[in-house]
Amino acid sequence: DAGVIQSPRHEVTEMGQEVTLRCKPISGHNSLFWYRQTMMRGLELLIYFNNNVPIDDSGMPEDRFSAKMPNASFSTLKIQPSEPRDSAVYFCASISLAYTGELFFGEGSRLTVL
């Protein structure tokens, strides 16, 4: 089975540009999480969805960040406008709530904002 698929793997953009990160969770998983990883702050939970519904977005740093999950097989994380401090690795992870807690992670999207 395919794992969690993220795209793009690498993104370099200039300050002020819009960035869209994409995630396809594992088929059958009903919860999806977006994490951000930086050297300074480690792994931070940004937002998560259960059955496509956003449950907790308290980790989203600012209004410049938004996330959607229009269906069970696709989610996006958008940053508009982007800033240099948004540079990080963004991970998507999914889980089946029928099982005991293991999150399956994608390979991550490395974002560099110049």
Partner 1 sequence: AQSVTQLGSHVSVSEGALVLLRCNYSSSVPPYLFWYVQYPNQGLQLLLKYTTGATLVKGINGFEAEFKKSETSFHLTKPSAHMSDAAEYFCAVTQQGGADGLTFGKGTHLIIQP
Interface positions with partner 1 (CB under 8 A): 4, 31, 33, 42-43, 45, 48, 50, 55-56, 91, 93, 95, 97, 99-103, 105-108, 110
Q: Report the nearest approach of partner 1 to the CB of residue 45 (Å).
A: 5
Burial class (CB in 10 A: 0-12, 13-18, 19+), 59: middle
Rounded (5°) CA angle 39-104-36: 25
Q: Report the nearest approach of partner 1 to the CB of residue 80 (Å).
A: 24
**Structure tokens given for 43:** 């792994």
Closest to partner 1 by CB, 81 or 103: 103
Closest to partner 1 by CB, 15 or 55: 55
**Structure tokens given for 46:** 């940004």
